[in-house]
């Protein structure tokens, strides 16, 4: 088993990737932005049932700086580039997201290329696939690309699209023997290992805490973080994954109302504060005037999209859990860690 670098090991997806790499017998190095984050990462891994000891090492590196990346990739056979900024609110300027996402991906690829790494698996997103298009009945697949110049394309979707495009361009132009595979997850749910989790988890937390008066008419794909990590490992090791991108999605897209209904049905009294009232779009637009987090969802209100994970299932034997299971695992882990209001 070789050594694998995971960028952004303190993140939701990154920590689950580390867990599965360790379980598969790999030695892992992970990047953090400051040495103080090491204790938090080890605590998350313990929560996930792992005590890596010396099999896990740390490197300090930042997506916005060159320093540290050559040392981070030294001696690694593979790199999982998971780290990317995803704030819960809109940035003041889109470049706050675009520049670190694109330049960070190129820093990692350059360092990997120079160090003789075999393959990089880049965590992109459905955000790089399904936005900026007129409505379509067909499910999105890996041939789709978000149009960064499209109407209502948000800075996050733009950043993921431009970062992934830049990565493929780098491989084509100057990648040499370096191989690239890309994973494009939809909304990532599942077991939380600590207080540092993704924006999609925040939705379940807010529903359970009763912080939302009702359900906006918003739909998105759902996938369990454990299955996203599993797909990263498959994309890292399977020869068929070279030069391919893979959508990570479990079944049809769900609405917020669907998620609320699942929580009510599966969690009983624990979900007593979960709202099931559907909010009219005009009311959500009104709320967005005061809440920047709500403003982000306005362009997607009332839109129905779908995507298929058939390619990953067919080519790599990937078998994700159901979307319902992912949602329930999210809620149960939030309760277990005491991250819900009493």
Say how many CA atoms lie within 13 Å of 108 toward its Cβ.
36
Percent of the chain's residues with pLDDT above 90: 89
- Mean predicted confidence (pLDDT) in 318-341: 96
What is the band of 258 on the pLDDT scale with cuts at 50, 70, 90?
A: very high
Per-residue model confidence (pLDDT) at position 292 = 82
Per-residue model confidence (pLDDT) at position 294 = 86
Coil/strand/helix, residue 40 = helix
pLDDT at 218 over 80: yes
Catalytic residue among 3, 92, 160, 264: 160
Assess contact for 94 and 155: CB atoms under 8 A: yes
Per-residue model confidence (pLDDT) at position 278 = 97
pLDDT in tens, 40-75: 999 999 999 999 999 999 999 999 999 999 999 999
Per-residue model confidence (pLDDT) at position 296 = 84
**CA 55/CA 27 separation, integer angstroms:** 5
pLDDT at 257 over 90: yes
Per-residue model confidence (pLDDT) at position 167 = 98
pLDDT in tens, 168-195: 999 999 999 999 999 999 999 999 999 8
CATH of region 3-190+223-250+307-320 = 3.40.50.720
List, in sequence order, every residue forming a beta bridge with 3; answer none if it has no partner.
27
Tokens standing for 212? 């939302």
What is the band of 90 on the pLDDT scale with cuts at 50, 70, 90?
A: confident
Per-residue model confidence (pLDDT) at position 87 = 67
160 noted as active-site residue: yes
DSSP 307: B
Assess contact for 130 and 307: CB atoms under 8 A: yes
Domain ranges within the chain, ordered by starting residue: 3-190+223-250+307-320
Q: Give the phi and the psi of residue 184 in degrees, each rounded to 5.
A: -120, 85
pLDDT in tens, 110-154: 999 999 999 999 999 999 999 999 889 999 999 999 999 998 899
What is the band of 342 on the pLDDT scale with cuts at 50, 70, 90?
A: confident
Tell me if the pTM is above 0.75: yes
């Amino acid at each position: 088993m070789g050594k694998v670098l995971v960028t952004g090991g303190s993140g939701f997806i990154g920590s689950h990737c580390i867990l599965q790499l360790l379980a598969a017998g790999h030695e892992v190095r992970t990047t953090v932005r400051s040495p103080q984050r090491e204790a938090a990462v080890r605590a998350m891994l313990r929560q996930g049932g792992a005590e890596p000891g010396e099999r896990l090492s740390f490197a300090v590196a930042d997506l916005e700086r060159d320093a540290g990346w050559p040392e981070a990739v030294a001696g690694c056979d593979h790199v999982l580039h998971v780290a990317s900024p995803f704030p819960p609110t809109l940035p003041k300027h889109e470049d706050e997201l675009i520049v670190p996402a694109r330049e960070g991906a190129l820093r990692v690829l350059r360092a990997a290329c120079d160090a003789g790494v075999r393959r990089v698996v880049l965590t992109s997103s459905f955000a790089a696939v399904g936005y900026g298009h007129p409505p379509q009945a067909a499910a999105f697949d890996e041939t789709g690309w978000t149009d960064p110049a499209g109407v209502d394309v948000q800075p996050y979707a733009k950043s993921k699209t431009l970062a992934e495009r830049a990565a493929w361009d780098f491989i084509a132009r100057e990648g040499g023997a370096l191989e690239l595979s890309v994973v494009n997850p939809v909304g990532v749910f599942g077991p939380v290992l600590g207080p540092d989790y993704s924006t999609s988890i925040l939705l379940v937390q807010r529903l359970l805490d009763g912080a939302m008066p009702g359900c906006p008419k918003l739909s998105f794909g759902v996938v369990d973080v454990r299955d996203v990590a599993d797909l990263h490992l498959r994309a890292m090791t399977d020869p068929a994954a070279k030069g391919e991108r893979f959508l990570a999605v479990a079944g049809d897209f769900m609405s917020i109302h669907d998620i609320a209904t699942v929580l009510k049905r599966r969690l009983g009294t624990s979900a007593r504060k979960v709202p099931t009232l559907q909010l009219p779009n005009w009311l959500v637009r009104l709320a967005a005037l005061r809440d920047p987090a709500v403003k982000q969802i306005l362009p997607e209100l009332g839109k129905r999209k779908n995507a298929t994970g058939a390619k990953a299932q067919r080519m790599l034997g990937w078998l994700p859990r159901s979307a319902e299971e992912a949602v329930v695992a999210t809620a149960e882990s939030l309760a277990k860690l005491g991250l819900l209001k009493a």
